[in-house]
Amino acid sequence: MPEKGKDEEKMTRSEAGRKGGEVAHEKGTAHEWTSEEARAAGRKGGEAAHEKGTAHEFSSEEAREAGRKGGEASHERGSKRHENDESAR
């Protein structure tokens, strides 16, 4: 493996991962997450954060805002699905 020049900095693991992801997206070989995979990964990360004590604790206002946004997104998707069903007939 060639040695790096003294001007080149070493990349952290997260920087290397980010760069690899960008290249994979450019090449069209990046992993496409299903909603099920994303949900499982989020659950796993949340559980790990709670175990470590680094999980975000939502205030009642933050939780209310998150719920409102989720409800709006859900209703918006539902409306679009309904419109698509109607146009398919």
Q: What is the pLDDT of residue 81?
A: 57
Rounded distance, CA 48 to CA 42, Å?
A: 10
Rounded distance, CA 70 to CA 76, Å?
A: 10
How many residues are present in the chain?
A: 89
Amino acid letter, residue 61: E
Rounded distance, CA 49 to CA 53, Å?
A: 6
Q: Over the stretch 20-33, which tens digit does the pLDDT of each residue have?
A: 999 999 999 999 99
- Say if residues 76 and 85 touch (Cβ distance below 8 Å): no
pLDDT band at 87 (very low <50, low <70, confident <90, very high): low
Amino acid letter, residue 38: A
Q: Over the stretch 63-76, which tens digit does the pLDDT of each residue have?
A: 999 999 999 988 88
Q: Taking the CB of residue 46, how many other CB atoms lie within 10 A of it?
A: 12
In this prediction the pTM is: 0.45
When pLDDT is averaged across residues 38-50 and rounded to a whole number, the result is: 94
